[in-house]
Amino acid sequence: MPRYKITIEYDGAYYVGWQRQPRGLSVQQAIEDALTALHLHPVEIVGAGRTDSGVHACGQVAHFDVERKWSCFHLTQALNSFLRDQRIAIIKTEEVSPDFHARFSAIARRYEYHIISRRAPLVLELGRAWQVYKPLDLEAMQKGAAHFLGFHDFSAFRDSQCQSQSAEKTMEIADLQEIRGRYIFTFKARSFLHHQVRNMVGTLKLIGEGRFVPDDIPRMLESKDRKQAGPTAPPDGLYFMEVIYPT
């Protein structure tokens, strides 16, 4: 059976998250329903990572096996036709080797988080960024983010329901830029804990407000205590940007 890899974009505000849930429509279910309708037999897909309700994706990746061989162009077009009423788009389809695995073959994942500072309500960006009403201290947040780089136990930044066996991760990129009142946080690692990015951003935002200082981050990491770090940022501003595989 041929195996295909798809790169997916979606607006997470319309779904209960990536993974199938007992109640509500997930991104996974919407794509599986499209594939099943297209092939007239059940098709299961495997994603590179899970996203919560409200979290968006520009570069989620999944793989699946089907009995029929397709040209990648026509499979992309067919899937997007079935998904035309959804807030989901298949950006690219590739035929891959049978040993490719969307999750386990990945060597890194990249996320962005967007905060917008302005007094006026968000209109075009509503549901796509975390709005704050005062400027944040960019330099302080950048110094705080730098403490996340390298190998650490991120227990203080994991959700209590996280199922990962280990909280030890290596952060390759922890960057922050500001463009006309938009703060863009970028994080890259092989894998992330549940809510890790949102918990790091929630903490950095308090640094930007002066409620923490950058050197509080090492203390939080050392404590391994979730209560020592900042709150969980809302899902609206989080984007699953890219999954990286060996070349």
Query: What digits encode the pLDDT tens for the residues 13-66?
Result: 999 999 999 999 999 999 999 999 998 889 999 999 999 999 999 999 999 999
DSSP percent split of the chain into helix, strand, coil, nearest 5? 25, 30, 45
CA 229 – CA 120 distance, rounded (Å): 29
For 62-79, the pLDDT digits (tens) are 999 999 999 999 999 999
Asked if the model's pLDDT at residue 89 lies above 90, the reply is: yes
Domain ranges of the chain: 3-96, 108-244
Asked, colleague to colleague, whether 3-96 and 108-244 share their fold, the answer is yes
Per annotation, catalytic residue among 11, 33, 52, 175: 52
Please report the pLDDT score of residue 247 as a whole number. Answer: 87
What pTM value is reported for the model? 0.96
The question of whether 225 is a catalytic residue gets the answer: no
- Residue 86 is which amino acid? Q
- Residue 242 is which amino acid? E
The two beta strands, 238-244 and 108-117, are antiparallel
For 101-153, the pLDDT digits (tens) are 999 999 999 999 999 999 999 999 999 999 999 999 999 999 999 999 999 99
Asked if 3 contacts 59 with a C-beta cutoff of 8 angstroms, the reply is no
For 199, the token pair is: 């918990």
Q: What separation in angstroms does the CA of 81 have from each of 33, 88, 90, 92?
A: 12, 11, 10, 14
Mean of all residue pLDDT scores within the chain = 97
* Phi and psi angles of residue 56, each rounded to the nearest 5 degrees, phi first: -100, 165
Asked if 53 contacts 233 with a C-beta cutoff of 8 angstroms, the reply is no
Asked if the model's pLDDT at residue 172 lies above 90, the reply is: yes
Which CATH fold topology does 108-244 show?
Answer: Alpha-Beta Plaits (3.30.70)
Which CATH fold topology does 3-96 show?
Answer: Alpha-Beta Plaits (3.30.70)
CA 79 – CA 63 distance, rounded (Å): 14
Please report the pLDDT score of residue 51 as a whole number. Answer: 97
Average pLDDT of span 153-177:
96
CA 116 to chain centre: 18
Average pLDDT of span 155-183:
96
Asked if 170 contacts 150 with a C-beta cutoff of 8 angstroms, the reply is yes
CA 68 – CA 39 distance, rounded (Å): 8
Asked if 127 contacts 54 with a C-beta cutoff of 8 angstroms, the reply is yes
**What 3-state DSSP class applies to 217?**
helix
Asked if the model's pLDDT at residue 81 lies above 90, the reply is: yes
Asked if the model's pLDDT at residue 189 lies above 90, the reply is: yes
